[in-house]
Chains A and B, each alone.
Chain A
Amino acid sequence: MQKFINSPDQVVDEMLQGFIKAHPDLISGTDNERVLKYKDAPIKSKVGIVTGGGSGHKPAFIGYIGKNMVDAVAVGEIFTSPPAQMFYDAIREADSGEGVAILYGNYSGDNMNVAMAMEMAAEDGIKVQKVVANDDVPSAPATEAEKRRGVAGEILMWKAGGAKAAMGGNLDQVIAVAKKAITNTRSMGVGLSGCTIPEVGHSNFSVEPGKMEVGIGHHGEPGIEITDLEPAAKVARRMCDVILPDLPFNKGDEVVVLLSGLGSTPVMELYILYNEIEKILSDTGIRIYRSFVGNYFTSLEMAGATLSVMKLDEELRECIDYEADSIGLRQFHNK
């Protein structure tokens, strides 16, 4: 295991300690060592934004804590949903009295733990509503979209919800825009290698050299197909062929593209892939309004990429353009 760690069962705690120390201008710890928050949270009169999930996805989830982004995050073990207590504590750290939007991904553990946390928070009189991201197209057919996992599209949901809350939206409005963001988003991953959970000590799974796993999940959940590794142009075509018809995205649509590496794929390759995706979208008459290319939502050192495409309307465009200051996503307002 070629890793910079001390002890495999301490990776999450030590990572959090390092993260808090490295970013005092944005992040602060809380009484629960598995809950981090934006240093100014809860922000008076602002709806709180909470998320959470398993670790190993840096910059997700804690990297999206920040100004006009996420207020508090519940941190789980590697690839493991945080327990209800952490979600509950995160909700409490984020609530200013205006309520909390909990925006997370569709995994059975997270669903159960969030549900319990919401019950606990409701008992405290905190208004909490949730949006469950299910942008990962290959994880279930369109007829069972509620079974689909949440992947990198979650970032666009946080961005939209975070901006809306910062603009002064109330809980219903924040939930509505976060819901719209994820409903308008479709994602799909392609994996080129496995990754190693430190406590397990050996690769989770593997992708044979010369092959690729089409539709892979963020924890290495198997894809829809294992094929021969194809040139970037064909990979891009495959991704678009899955994503575009599903919403569907049509000629004339304006979209945000988020192309995230899964960990060890050099960013250079993401741009090569992006170059092909851009050609396909522009040939289809779809206009790219803004693109994010880089390691936005990873799976430890897995090789591969996730493409997420979100259809914009005026409200989403405004939210996407809004200033944001977090480790994972930082942008000036003026596009």
Chain B
Amino acid sequence: MANSDTYAGVSSPANGKVFEVETRVKSNTEVNGEYRLLILDAPQRVLDCQPGQFFHLLCPSTLENAPYLRRPMSIYGYYPEKGELHFLYKVTGEGTRALAELLPGDALNVLGPLGKGFSIAKDWRHLLLVARGVGLATLAPLAQEARRRGRKLTAICSARSPEVLMSVDLFRGMGAEVITVTDAEGSSGMENIEAIIQGRIDVGEVDALYTCGSNRMLRLLQKIGAEHGIPGEIALEQQMACGLGMCQCCVRSFRRNDQIVHERVCREGPVFDMQEAMAW
């Protein structure tokens, strides 16, 4: 419907401005059996993004799928020089099925960039991230930013089998060191990941931890972070209606100053302090 692209005076807490814009699909291809890469031709003004931010996509209505609400998607890549916005998504339900039907040239209305992204403090030289599944999409831009700022980044990529380690090339391409762990090889267990991270810490190569998604990973990294006094951040998900902070549907609980507080994933997040986050 609406395709005006109004200037967002109240900015998202982290950095930029929010716009509702009509984009064009450049390509929308299968990456492997489960994931798809959507590349949009997007106006410059929405490409001033931060790693960890997301867009709210108005998925099209098709004959079989009629998603009603928008769908939140992490920014997998933003390239102002090419005018491109990338999303990596997994087809799970009505909205993503409708996304999967988009063809080059089709229009897609997006709202963003939204939310608060990852931070990289001045003195964090060595960053370590642990990603699994579609969490790769959320963490990929962090690697890009780390390189831009000249930080060293280690990515532990976890997956079911080696074949689905799709972003390894991407992380490598951005100069990150990549460690893969898979269910198939039996290397993706929490103990093994803990051992890998411990090894890095032992040689003084972890200044900050990043992850997103799973509860088990959150607990593990919270433990490691607490033991060694290493700060960390986690990107969280929650059902969203407005994506802007108005409806309060996307709250999660956080531990802060010995109290439980509720914060909106779309507005105060989706990136939160690792120690404050609560498993769910």
Do these two chains interact?
A: no
